[in-house]
Amino acid sequence: MSNLTKQAVLEALKAVSATSGSSNVVDSGYVSTVIVDGDQVGVVLDFGDSRPSDMPALRSAIEVAVMAVEGVSAVNVVMSALKAAKPSDAAAPKMPTGAGSKAAPKPTELPGVKHIIAVASGKGGVGKSTTSINLALALKAQGLKVGLLDADIFGPSVPMLVGSDEKPEAINKILQPIMAHGLKVMSVGFLLDIDQPVIWRGPRVMGATQQLLKDVAWGPLDVLIVDMPPGTGDVQLTMVQQAKLSGAIIVSTPQDLALIDARKGLAMFQQVKVPIMGIIENMSTFVCPHCGENSDIFGHGGAKEVAEKLQVTFLGAVPLHMSVRASADEGKPIVEADPENPISDIYKDIAEKLRQQLGL
C-alpha cells in the first residue's frame, strides 16, 4: 500500500509556477481540488477569470510535477473556470442562470421517456459510471428500453465504457443518440475532441447539461440512466431543476469519508424532493482473483449501516473485482461481457429492485 497523501501532492504543486505572475499554482488559487485515491491523483484547476495564456503547458507541468511524487501512478488534471460564474456572495443560493435571462424553469419530463434516474455520489471515483452502465444493461436485459446520459461533462467516461467513438448525427438540430450494446447513449465525449482541454464556464456547464437532456432524441425509453459527475455542482443543480427525476441512486465506497460525502449527495436530492431510490456500496469486498477468497479491505457494510440510519433503501453491494474494471476498459461492461458472472447477478438484482420501485 502506498502512503501517498494529499499534502505531498500539494507540496509538489507548490513548485509549479502559475504562468501569470510569480506565485505558484496553489497560492494563486488555481488548484481547487486535489483528490488522492490510492496511487491515483486528480487535480482540478479553476481559473475563474484569470485564464493563463498557455494552459496546455501548465497542464503538462502539473502532470510532470505530480507524477514525480513518490507513489503516484497516474494523474488526471481537469481544467475549469467555474469560479467566475459564481455569485461573489458565496452564501447566496446557487441558481442556474440558464441560457439567457429567463428564470430557472420547472423540471419537465422528456418526451417519450417514462423515468429518469440519476446515479450520483458525493465523491469522485467511487464507481458511478461503472454502476450506471451495468445497471442500464441489467435493466435492458429485463426487456426495458434504456438510455444512458453521461452528464459528466468534465470527464466523460461513457464513450470508453461502451467502446464507441462514433459521432452522433444531428437531425433538425436534435442529436441522435449512439446505439451501443442495445442502449441509447449520449456523452459530450462523442461531441468533443477528448485531447483538447475544454474550459466549461458556469453558463456553459448549464447549457451543455441542458442540451444533453433536451436536444437529444431520447424517446421512446422506459428508463434514462444519468451518470452524474462527482459532487454537488452546477451540473447536478441543472439536472434536478431541468428534468423531472423519478429518483436518485447514491453510489458509495465503504470508506467513511466517502460515506460522509454520500450524505452530502443524498441531502442535495432530498432538498429538491427527488426520491432516493437507494444506496449502492461499490468496491465493498475484495475478491482475490487468484483464490476467490473475499476480504474486506475497506471495511464492508458501511453503506448498509448508513442506509439504515438514514432510512433509505440499501440496494446492494458490488465487490471490488478485476473483472469489473477489465471489462470496462475493453468497452464491454461485465453485465454484457459475462452475464453469468456472480457480479452481473448483483447488478441484475439491483435492477430488479429499481424496476419494482418504478412499477415497470
Ligand X SMILES: Nc1ncnc2c1ncn2[C@@H]1O[C@H](COP(=O)(O)OP(=O)(O)OP(=O)(O)O)[C@@H](O)[C@H]1O
Site string for ligand X, 180-219 (x = CB under 6 A): ----------------------------------------
Please give the single-letter amino acid code of residue 257: L
Q: Please name the helix (run of DSSP H) or strand (run of DSSP E) that holds residue 294, with its range, or none.
A: strand 294-295
Q: Which is nearer to Mg ion, 156 or 254 (CB)?
A: 156
Is 184:164 a contact under the CB 8 Å cutoff?
no
Give the residue, chosen from 129, 131, 187, 209, that forms a contact with Mg ion under the rule CB under 5 A. 129
Using CB under 6 A as the binding rule, whether residue 157 contacts ligand X is answered as yes
Stretch that binds Mg ion, among 37-45, 80-88, 128-136, 306-314 (CB under 5 A): 128-136
Stretch that binds ligand X, among 13-21, 93-101, 191-199, 318-326 (CB under 6 A): 318-326
Using CB under 5 A as the binding rule, whether residue 130 contacts Mg ion is answered as no
SS3 label, residue 249? strand
Listed in sequence order, the residues at least 6 apart from 22 whose beta carbon sits closer than 8 Å to its beta carbon are none
* Residue 77 binding: pick among ligand X, Mg ion, none (C-beta 5-8 Å cut-off by kind): none
Distance CA(310)–CA(280), nearest Å, equals 14
Q: Which is nearer to ligand X, 130 or 232 (CB)?
A: 130
β pairing state of 221-227 and 40-46: unpaired
Q: Which of residues 147-166 bind Mg ion (CB under 5 A)?
A: 152, 157
Using CB under 6 A as the binding rule, whether residue 320 contacts ligand X is answered as yes
Stretch that binds ligand X, among 6-14, 45-53, 191-199, 324-332 (CB under 6 A): 324-332
Using CB under 6 A as the binding rule, whether residue 300 contacts ligand X is answered as no
Cβ at position 339, least distance to ligand X in Å: 16
SS3 label, residue 45? strand
Distances (CA, A) of 44 to 56, 79, 332, 349: 14, 6, 29, 36
DSSP one-letter string for 210-246: HHHHHSB---SEEEEEEEPPSSSSHHHHHHHHHB--S
The x, y and z cell numbers of residue 110, run together, are 422528456
Using CB under 5 A as the binding rule, whether residue 236 contacts Mg ion is answered as no
SS3 label, residue 276? strand
Site string for ligand X, 227-266 (x = CB under 6 A): ---x------------------------------------
Give the residue, chosen from 45, 126, 208, 335, that forms a contact with ligand X under the rule CB under 6 A. 126
* Residue 302 binding: pick among Mg ion, ligand X, none (C-beta 5-8 Å cut-off by kind): none
Cβ at position 116, least distance to Mg ion in Å: 17
Q: Which is nearer to Mg ion, 30 or 269 (CB)?
A: 269
> Smallest Cα–Cα separation from 240: which of 147, 116, 133?
116
Q: Which is nearer to Mg ion, 25 or 178 (CB)?
A: 178
Q: Which is nearer to ligand X, 321 or 348 (CB)?
A: 321
Give the residue, chosen from 34, 117, 122, 128, that forms a contact with ligand X under the rule CB under 6 A. 128
The x, y and z cell numbers of residue 215, run together, are 436536444
Listed in sequence order, the residues at least 6 apart from 312 whose beta carbon sits closer than 8 Å to its beta carbon are 250, 266, 276, 278, 279
Using CB under 6 A as the binding rule, whether residue 127 contacts ligand X is answered as yes
Using CB under 6 A as the binding rule, whether residue 321 contacts ligand X is answered as yes
Q: Please name the helix (run of DSSP H) or strand (run of DSSP E) that holds residue 10, with its range, or none.
A: helix 6-13
According to DSSP, the residues that pair with 314 across neighbouring strands are: 279
CB contact burial 254-276 (16+ within 10 A = b; e otherwise)? bbeebbebbbebbebbeeeebeb
Give the residue, chosen from 82, 274, 324, 335, that forms a contact with ligand X under the rule CB under 6 A. 324
Q: Which is nearer to Mg ion, 241 or 282 (CB)?
A: 282
Cβ at position 287, least distance to ligand X in Å: 9
Please give the single-letter amino acid code of residue 216: V
Is 277:247 a contact under the CB 8 Å cutoff?
yes
The contact set with ligand X (CB under 6 A) reads 121, 124-130, 152, 155, 157, 230, 282-283, 318, 320-321, 324-325, 328
The contact set with Mg ion (CB under 5 A) reads 128-129, 152, 157
